[in-house]
């Protein structure tokens, strides 16, 4: 069985934390505008869960690719990307067709890991600038 790299665990944990915070924010916004309901909650849970899973699977795919030669690495990453893309497509299609899963919260939640990555990049950059200054 593949041993997960500590770096991937750490980064996934950070992204998961960001996703949880953003999900709470999303729920709060829906509550404030009076649109909250179970579809919003289920959509958010589905989107956030799959978003975190996608990030983790990407990490696993990249980790296994790093142990291969250049050609093998490209093939592994392409395969991993295709599979994760299909997973995302399945989730969005489910959100479209299942009534008790909100489409908008699902789509928004799928983007939370990306927002987390941007925030992490900014935080690391600012930290670097502070320590340099």
User: Would you say 8 or 45 has its CB closer to other proteins?
Assistant: 8
Q: Does 73 bind other proteins (CB under 8 A)?
A: yes
Q: Does 59 bind other proteins (CB under 8 A)?
A: yes
Angle 63-67-70 from CA coordinates, rounded to 5°: 105
Of residues 109, 92, 128, 123, the one with CA closest to residue 41: 109
Rounded Cα–Cα distance for residues 88 and 77 (Å)? 16
Rounded Cα–Cα distance for residues 35 and 41 (Å)? 11
Please pick, from the candidates 16, 41, 110, 112, the single residue that binds other proteins as defined by CB under 8 A.
Answer: 110
| Residue 4 dihedral angles phi and psi, to the nearest 5° | -75, 130
CB of 96 to other proteins, least distance (A): 5
User: Would you say 11 or 27 has its CB closer to other proteins?
Assistant: 11
SS (H, E, C) 102-121: CHHHHHHHHCHHHHHHHHHH
Q: Does 114 bind other proteins (CB under 8 A)?
A: yes
Q: Does 20 bind other proteins (CB under 8 A)?
A: no
Q: Count how many Cα atoms sit within 13 Å of the Cα of residue 110 in the half-sphere of its side chain.
A: 16
Q: Does 119 bind other proteins (CB under 8 A)?
A: no
Contact residues: other proteins, CB under 8 A: 5, 7-8, 11, 15, 55, 58-59, 62-63, 65-66, 68-70, 73-74, 76-78, 81-82, 84-85, 88-89, 92-93, 96-97, 103, 107, 110-111, 113-114, 117-118, 120-121
């Amino acid at each position: 069985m593949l041993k997960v790299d500590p770096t991937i665990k750490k980064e996934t944990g950070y992204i998961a934390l960001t996703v949880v915070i953003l999900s709470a924010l999303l729920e709060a916004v829906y509550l404030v505008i009076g649109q909250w309901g179970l579809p919003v909650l289920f959509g958010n849970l589905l989107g956030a869960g799959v978003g975190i899973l996608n990030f983790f699977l990407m990490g696993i795919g990249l980790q296994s690719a790093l142990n291969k030669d250049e050609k093998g690495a490209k093939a592994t990453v392409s395969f991993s990307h295709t599979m994760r893309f299909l997973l995302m497509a399945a989730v969005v299609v489910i959100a479209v067709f299942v009534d008790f899963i909100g489409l908008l919260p699902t789509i928004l939640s799928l983007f939370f890991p990306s927002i987390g990555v941007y925030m992490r990049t900014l935080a690391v950059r600012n930290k670097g600038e502070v320590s340099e200054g």
